[in-house]
Every structure is written in C-alpha cells, then in structure tokens.
Amino acid sequence: METTWLDDGIRVTDAAKNTVVVGTDGWSPVPEGPSLTDALSVVAEGATAERTLSGSVQSVTLPPVIVKAVSLSSDGIRQLSPNETMRFDVESYMLYANANVQLFVRFDGPATGRFVSEEGESGRYVIEFPDRTPVSIGFETLDEVVEDTVTVPETTEGVATALTALSAANTVTSPDRTWPTTRDEPPRVEFGDTTDVPATVADDRPDTGIELVVPDDLRYLFTGASLTHYLGAAVCVEPGAEPALRVGDRVVSLGELPSYQRRTAELLARCFYLDCVARGAGPHGGRLTVADVFGELGLDADRLYEASLAQRVSTYLDTEFRAVRDRFPDWHLSMYVAPTFDNVSTLPHLLQRLPHFFLPESHDLTETEWLELSSNDTFRRDPPDREPDSNGLRRVTREVSNVDLVQPELGPGREHGWLADDVPIEVFKTFPEAYENRRKYLAREGSELTVAAVLNNAEMRTEHDHAIEHYELRADELNIDITIQENISVAELARTFEATHDLVHFIGHRESAGLECADGYLSTDSLAVSNARTFFLNACGSYPEGEALIRKGSIAGGVTFESVLDSEAARVGTTFARLMVLGFSVKRGLDYARRQLLMPKDYAVVGNGTHVLAQSDALVPPMRWLFRDGEEFRIVVEHDESWAHGGYMQSRLFEEDGRSLVGRDRVYTVDWGKLREYLDTSQAPIVYEEQLWWPDELREELTRE
C-alpha cells in the first residue's frame, strides 16, 4: 500500500491500483494519535487497518461514498445524512467508509460534520474542528493476495474436501455475511497425493451444521459450489446418493441434473436475499426498500439476526419466497463452467463473487440468428435500414476472424461468463489463466495506473485523440501515466505488450497474420509474455489476438469478432476509454460502449469480464436512462457490478423509502430544476432517446429543446 502526500491531502493506493483520496486541511504529523485498535472492533470482529497515519488537522474530507459514525462510548452506529449537519460532542468517535480502500477516521470531539458538493460528484463528507485536532486515519485493502493452499487428491472426494475448506473465506455467520466486504478470496486449491488443509484455514471455517450430499459426479460439485460456499456447508460425496441439503435433522431433496442446478441457484438466492433483509436488524444494516417482504412472509428480522445460519436456512425453506422473488434483483453473475479437474483451481477465484454455476450448453449459431440477436442488443429500438439480404437483414461475412460462434443456453443472471470450450455470443469468454494472472499484478510495485495508447492506423486518429482525452479526465485523481505511440513496428508493439501496463489500447487493423504494424504483423501468440493487465484491441476480427494475450498473462480485454467500420470503431473505443476510468468493469463498459452501434455484438470481452481497471469514487458507477413526459422527467438508475453484490445504494438527492440493493433499478420523477442538479452529481453516461450522452452534452441538448 503506497501513500502519496498531495497539496491538500493524502492519496493511498493498494496493490490492485485501487485509490482513495482523503482531504486533510492543515495536516501536521504527530507521533501518536487517537488509537484505532479498540475502535475497529466496534466495526467488525477482527477488523484491521494495514496503514495508519496520525496528525493534527483543521478538517478531514472523505470520498463521495456512504459514511457511518460510531460513538465509542455508546457503540451506537448511524449513517450520516447529506441533508443535515451533525454535531459531534466531546467524546470519542470513529467514522468508517467502504471506499475503494476501506477507510477509518478516529477523533475526539467536538466537531461538525456536513456534506459539500462539487460538480461531477454527489457530495463529500467533511469533518471540521474548532481548533487543530489530532486524528488517526486508517486504510485497509480489500484485495489481498491469498497465500494459503488447500491440497487434495484429484478425485471427486478431494474436490468435495476442497469446497468444504473454501468456506473459511467468510467467517461471519450472521446475516452480515451478505456484505461484499465479508467475502474474502478463498484459499487456492492444488492436487496432490494426500490431503493438506492448513490450520489457518481449518480454524477459520465455521461449523454451520449444514451438509450438501451429492453423488460421485463432478457436475454436482461444480453446480452446487456457490450454495455450499454461502451456507458454509460440509460437502459429502456418497456414490449413488440423491442430491440433498441437510440442515440439522432436516433433509431437503435437490433433484437430479439438470433440475439440480436450477434448484441450488434458487436456494442460494432465497437464503442470500432474505439474509440481506434480516441484517437490517443488526448494527450495520439499515432498512432496505424490500424490507416489507418480511411482513408478507411472516418473518421476524430481530429473531433471525440472532439465529444461527442453520436456523435461518430452515426458516427460509418454509417461506413462499417465489411470491416475492421479483422484488429482489436478478442474480448478479452466472458462470457456465466445464466440470473438469482442470477447472477446479479456478473455483476459489470465482466463489468470491458468489455466482450461479451452470453446465455449459449451446448450439451452433447461424448467421441469421447472430444478426437478429445483435440488432436487438442496442440502445436504438428501430435501427436505420441497412442493405438487406433476402431475409431483410444486413449481410455480413466472417472473412477476418474465422471464429465459429455458438449460442449459449443462459440461466438467470444479469451478467454471464463462459469457462468452457467454444466461443459464445453475449457472454465473456474466459480461461483459468485470466484468474491466476491477477496474482502477479497484485505483486507489482508502483501506484501509477499506466495506459499505453497505440495508433497504427492514421485514419482512426479521431478515436486515438478522444480516447486520450478521456483517460486524462481522472489522470490526477487516479495517478494515470499515459504513453502515446504511433505507427510503431512489430518489435515496438511486442515490447508494449511485454512491458508493464495496466491497459493497452490498440487502434488499427488486424489480418490473419496478426495486428498490423509499420513493418508487418504481430501475432500476440508469439509474445514471450503479456504484462498488459487489460487491453482493448480495436481492430477487425481481433478475438484470436485477445485470447492469446490472456494465455500469455493478461486478465481481460475487449476484442471484435468481425470487420467493423472505422467510424463505429471510433465511437466504441472512445466511449470504452471513458467508462474504464469511471470505474466500469471491462464487460459492463464494453456492453454500453458497443450498444451505440447497429450491430453491437461485433464486440466481445475475453478473459475475466468482471475485472475493474480503476474503481469509481462512488464505488459502483451508475448507468442512467432518462425519459421525458412533458415538463417532467423520469430517471432510471442502475448500479450493477458483480463485486458489490449484497451492497446497497442510496441517493443523496432524492428521498427514498430505504436503501436499494445493488442491481435493483431505482426510478425517480423530477422537474427540470432537479434534473439539472442531478446531472451535476456524476460523470457517468445517460441514455436519452436511445442515444448515449455525457452529462454536459445532455444538459446542453435539453436546454435547446
């Protein structure tokens, strides 16, 4: 974790390049400030701060995220409201915020807290002191490298043992286990001749009294992995057994495949979402907008918060959850994973996100199906006419990529990933290497976010110049270092990928021999290694080059399946650049960038599509839709990133009846004055009249209307 002193504050960057900036007016270091140790235990058992700085200040300004205050004399916890000024009396306090890096501020009153707003953000919380006052500021990363390794035999029983041990990653057994900050990355899994579960893992694993019983078949272990993980269940392989969940003396039949995978997914959603409501009775909860479902289901949040995990699961099994399921978000992520021993080592990386697991099934994709699917996946409802074929559809041939696409059979989920053979449309195609590669980037030194912009096609200069402008938008805030290269050689492009970069944005052409350079073509398969954490290959049919980069060391990137028009490529490239620095994941960012096109499925993500290059100040960047009805406007706001599953969002501008779970759209009706104020709260894009706008552009457009 690196600390940089700024003119007006502190910037702290962890190994994953997550950055948090804290304003410190009048900072003067002191040898010892108020102690954080006792205060941290109030927030959560075992809470720590990796880095602590102490100094006297006149004021402290926090990032624009939700802030909670703890009175250390009463242990009372309250969320700070943007609509009121809070007076801190003469006693001890700690503020904490789950920013990109967890943040803790320990101080003694008196003090005053209030929100201040600046254009482009929703407001920051400022604590002001009457005189210079000692404070201690603690920082804790959410992205630690896991060193523990569980070794098991390469058998179904061995995999069951590993899945049992992996639940040690979440030691919280109360409904607070739904918070994303409680889901640490599980230990690694390796195969060996004997079983070895480190004591640090075995001791951390809670005994929940829940068992998952499955037959001797890897398919059941894979598709039941997330249910096992969330429930902290012991996994038992019994040859010929009927799949079942044992909760105390109760046995719940789960059926056989393929219905088994749907049943485990439904049970996971049931237990997880009802726990989200139950946590509202605890000190860290707060009322959710869906809290009234407990009244409909006859559930008692206070009783359930104090109940054991097994007791809660047994209670949830008796509810009519299906009657209220549509009140909760669709599941954030579904992964389609080939149930092989080779993929077992990837399960710990995936389980931290708690996805649904399904068996990968697909069928060959005809060109007609591909065109129909693509034309429907756009911001535009009625795309302009293109030159039709006999079916009335645009005719496209695949002469560049030669990728045989398949149509995946998808289960429920807002996002989908594919870890199996074939190249599917609509989902991110990933590989075990994408998840293992992340470890090497966490081990890198340096806090700069390095971006290389390569222009190897002069006709696409517009994209190049606009992309650089977008990367520069948050360059100071995120400490972005931008390298610009033009018309470079094969050797120079190879060095660019092999050098240390967080993002390589290539703009040019691609032929079957590789990416076009000034003196030939670079096949990325020829690289010794790729040290580009992420990439965007904005070139025709670049999928094969992207897949090679993942296998050589990258995590994720954007590619194309087909020939794309230069003008459309430029639009996607510039939008993608801006969304990356605003904190969108690779898949979510490319999805919104490509949906401006007539044929958006020409673009796809290879590698771990949930990977985030640079996190948003607001943690989960919003995507917004605007609809006009006379003098009123309807705003639909979506916050949706898989790592934030179980978290909540709350507007600082609009009054709401509780807090909305991440992934659940929020709708507001406002007048022009309130809309103008709202447009100033975020740099994130807005879809209006089926086009994507940036806030400043939309403000001008609406003013003209």
DSSP for 546-607? HHHHHHHT--EEEEESS---HHHHHHHHHHHHHHHHTT-BHHHHHHHHHTTSSSGGGEEEEE
Q: Please, what sign has the CA dihedral across residues 462, 463, 464, 470?
A: positive
Tokens of 503: 């993002």
In a domain, 613, yes or no: no
Q: Looking at residue 343, what is its pLDDT?
A: 98
pLDDT of res. 444: 79
Give the domain CATH number at 551. 3.40.50.1460
Q: Does pLDDT of 485 surpass 90?
A: yes
Find, among 413, 409, 159, 165, the residue nearest to 266 by Cα. Answer: 413
pLDDT beyond 80 at 76? no
The predicted structure's pLDDT at residue 563: 77
User: ∠ at Cα 681 (680, 685), nearest 5°?
Assistant: 85
Last residue of a domain, one of 339, 357, 375: 357
CA 145/CA 696 separation, integer angstroms: 40
The angle at the Cα of 271, spanning 268 to 272, to the nearest 5 degrees, equals 80
Phi, psi at residue 550, to the nearest 5°?
A: -65, -45
In this predicted model, which residue has the larger pLDDT, 376 or 341?
341
Percent of the chain with pLDDT over 70: 93
User: And the tokens for 107?
Assistant: 């101080």
Q: In whole angstroms, what is the distance from residue 199 CA to residue 583 CA?
A: 37
| Among candidate residues 311, 328, 357, the one where a domain is terminated | 357
Instruction: Identify the band that residue 604 occupies on the pLDDT scale cut at 50, 70 and 90.
Output: very high
Residue 381 has pLDDT above 50, yes or no: no
Return the closest-CA partner of residue 127 out of 118, 140, 114, 139: 114
Q: Establish if 168 belongs to a structural domain.
A: yes
Query: Residue 475: what residue type?
Result: A
Q: Distance between CA atoms of 120 and 680, rounded to whole angstroms?
A: 5
Residue 237 lies in a domain: yes
pLDDT beyond 80 at 338: yes
Is 337 inside a domain boundary?
yes
Strands 124-140 and 102-108: antiparallel
DSSP lists the bridge partners of residue 21 as 11
Which two three-digit tokens encode residue 704?
């003209």
How many whole angstroms separate alpha carbon 155 and alpha carbon 151?
12
- Residue 391: what pLDDT? 34
417, 430 Cβ separation under 8 angstroms: yes
Note whether 321 and 413 are same-domain residues: no
User: Could you read off the pLDDT of 255-281 as tens digits, one per residue?
Assistant: 999 999 999 999 999 999 999 999 999
What's the per-residue H, E or C state across 350-384?
Answer: HHCCCCEEECCCEEECCHHHHHHHHHHCCCCCCCC
| Residue 678 to residue 631: CA distance in whole angstroms | 16
Give the phi and the psi of residue 177 in degrees, each rounded to 5: -65, -10
Q: What's the DSSP call for residue 393?
A: S
Percent of all residues in the chain with a pLDDT value above 90, rounded to a whole number: 58
483 and 628 share a domain? no
Task: For residue 507, give the nearest of 449, 571, 585 by alpha carbon.
Answer: 571
Residue finishing a domain among 105, 140, 175: 140
Q: Which token pair is 621?
A: 């960047």
pLDDT, the chain, mean? 88
Q: Sorting pLDDT into bands at 50, 70 and 90, what band is 657?
A: low
**pLDDT at 432 > cutoff 60:** yes
User: Residue 470 is inside which H or E element, if any?
Assistant: helix 461-472
Phi and psi dihedrals of 359, rounded to 5? -70, 135
Confidence grade of residue 399 (pLDDT, cut at 50, 70, 90)? very low
Under 8 Å between Cβ of 270 and 312: no
Check pLDDT > 70 for residue 97. Answer: yes
Residue 615 lies in a domain: no
Question: Could you tell me if 284 and 398 lie in one domain?
Answer: no
Please give the span between the terminal C-alpha atoms of the chain, in angstroms, as a whole number: 49
Compare 517 and 118 and report the one with higher pLDDT: 517
Residue 654 has pLDDT above 90, yes or no: no
Domain count, the chain: 4
Other C-beta atoms closer than 10 Å to the C-beta of 646 total 23
Domain that holds residue 627: 622-704
| Contact predicate 136/52, CB 8 Å | yes
Q: How far apart are CA 686 and CA 449, in angstroms?
A: 26
Do 451 and 533 belong together in one domain?
yes
Establish how many alpha carbons lie within 13 A of residue 72's alpha carbon, considering only the half-sphere containing its beta carbon: 20
Residue type, 465: D
Does 490 share its domain with 435?
Answer: yes
Same domain assignment for residues 505 and 577: yes
Asked if 82 contacts 64 with a C-beta cutoff of 8 angstroms, the reply is no
**Residues 407/365, Cβ–Cβ less than 8 Å:** yes
Select the more confidently predicted residue: 398 or 90: 90
Rounded to an integer, the average pLDDT of 686-699 is: 90
- 191 and 277 in a single domain? The answer is yes
How far apart (Å, rounded) are the C-alpha atoms in residues 646 and 330? Answer: 12
* Two structure tokens written together for 144: 């630690």
Residue 326 inside a domain? The answer is yes
Which pTM value belongs to this model? 0.92
Q: Are residues 428 and 574 in the same domain?
A: yes
Closest among 194, 483, 223 to 338, alpha carbons compared: 223
Evaluate whether residue 612 is within a structural domain.
Answer: no
The closest alpha carbon to 515, from 552, 534, 487, belongs to 487
Q: Which amino acid is at 346?
A: T
Contacts of 653 (CB under 8 A, 6+ apart): 122, 674, 677, 678, 681
Residues 602-609: what's their mean pLDDT? Answer: 95
Is the confidence at residue 108, as pLDDT, over 80?
yes
| 11, 80: one domain | yes
Amino acid identity of 217? D
Mean pLDDT value of segment 413-436: 96
Q: What is the pLDDT of residues 176-207, one digit of tens each?
A: 999 998 888 999 999 999 999 999 999 999 99
Q: Which pLDDT band, with edges at 50, 70 and 90, does 400 fall under?
A: very low
Q: Residue 493 — pLDDT band, cuts 50, 70, 90? A: very high
Specify the pLDDT at position 698. 92
CA distance 276 to 279: 5
Of 125-129, 274-278, 373-377, least confident by mean pLDDT is 373-377
Whether residue 506 is found in the same domain as residue 376: yes
pLDDT of residue 688: 92
> Taking a C-beta distance cutoff of 8 angstroms, is the pair 70, 43 a contact?
yes
Task: Examine the domain organization and report whether 434 and 576 are in the same domain.
Answer: yes
Cβ-count burial of 105 within 10 angstroms (0-12 exposed, 13-18 middle, 19+ buried)?
buried
Domain-located, residue 617: no
Q: Is the pLDDT of residue 145 over 70?
A: yes
Comparison of pLDDT for 651 and 622, the residue scoring more: 622
DSSP track, 294-344: HHHHT--HHHHHHS-HHHHHHHHHTS-GGGTGGGSPPPS-EEEE---GGGG
Q: Which candidate, 171, 174, 165, places its Cα nearest to that of 310?
A: 174
- Beta strand segments in 194-283, E: 210-214, 234-237, 244-247, 250-253
**pLDDT at position 374:** 65
Burial of residue 581 (number of CB atoms within 10 Å: 0-12, 13-18, 19+): buried
What is the Cα–Cα distance from 582 to 612, expressed in whole angstroms? 10
Split at pLDDT 50, 70, 90, the class of 119 is: low
41 in the same domain as 126: yes
